[in-house]
Amino acid sequence: MIEGALRMILTSIHLVTNFIATRLKYLSLNRLTVCKCQNRVRGKVVVLTGATNGIGYYTALDLAKKGSLLYLACRNGEKAKKIVRNLRRVTDNKEIHYLHLDLSKFSTIENFVTAFKDREQTLNVLINNAAIFHHPSYLTEDGIEVTYQTNYLGVYMLTSKLEPLLKNTPASQVVFVSSEAHRLVTAEDVKNFDCTKEVELRTFHDHVKLYGISKLALHMYADHLSKEAVGVSVLLVNPGNVWSNIYQNCWLSWRDLVTRTKCAVYMRDPKEGAQSTIHAVNSPRGTRYYITDTLSKDTLEEYDSGFLIKKSSQLLRPKSVSMS
């Protein structure tokens, strides 16, 4: 009872601080970052992961308004179906669909790809948006650390299985939503990380490091994909530091209320955070770019990612069953 009441109080404070932050942003002299590119997604088949809240929701709203044939790949089916109904109503776009996907379960990735291929023969844009942060560490049913699987290995599996469709679709595109946290770790950290073991997460820094490892792995895979998938545009985007549900497990004690309030006021809101992804899919075609939170384009760094791709492929191989 007490724990539930405290959670309700914290949720209320979260809503109030979001409201205050929104009003302060409108009063601010700083101009919000907004993509003003022409519509380049009308009629295109787009898959978007993690679209039920935050950056993903505002990305979905923009894609729906612009007339894309949109598939929301989400874990929470009930919530996703409500989002689909709402987007169809407010945008008058009836080509918005939901297919179940949980990146922390390889079986649902397989099922998603099969269901999608049953419906579509082309894929113009794949937006890998879903991610988790500051999440308790445990091994998934596939035996992989949950943050690493959700943020990287599941994304690797999904993209690899959709790669044939992408290659067979002219001017197709893959967008990975990343983070500046990838700069806080090294390729050696990725190489030495054992994703088959739980991670001891005692401090906020520990969570940031784990998140950074998963995001740097994403950069290394994007570098590999951009060279291997000829004809497919590969982009990474940085949404900036966005106050969204990705922080739902952070700063939950009473002594952290000031921190939460500061974050809500000074961080970006999800609508602004979505602009780098919106810019990626609507700006003139290009590849091997890292689009920053100010919508500028940096050339994608090159990595020696052979070890990561080999390891990832091995982890996805079906485990042999010994016969006694």
| Pairing state between β 45-49 and 69-74 | parallel
> What local confidence, expressed as pLDDT, does residue 1 receive?
59
> What tens digit of pLDDT does each residue of 26-43 get?
444 455 789 999 999 999
What's the pLDDT band for 324 if we cut at 50, 70, 90?
very low
User: How far is residue 154's CA from residue 132's CA, in Å, rounded to a whole number?
Assistant: 12
> What tens digit of pLDDT does each residue of 218-254 get?
999 999 999 999 999 999 999 988 766 766 676 566 5
Q: Going by C-beta distance under 8 Å and a sequence separation of 6 or more, which residues neighbour residue 171?
A: 124, 231, 233, 285
Q: Is 123 helix (H, G, I), strand (E, B) or coil?
A: coil
Q: Which residues are catalytic?
A: 211
| Average pLDDT for 175-201 | 96
Contact 166, 172 (CB under 8 A): yes
Q: Going by C-beta distance under 8 Å and a sequence separation of 6 or more, which residues neighbour residue 173?
A: 124, 125, 126, 232, 233, 234, 235, 280, 281, 285
User: How far is residue 213's CA from residue 61's CA, in Å, rounded to a whole number?
Assistant: 30
Two tokens, residue 312: 């990832």
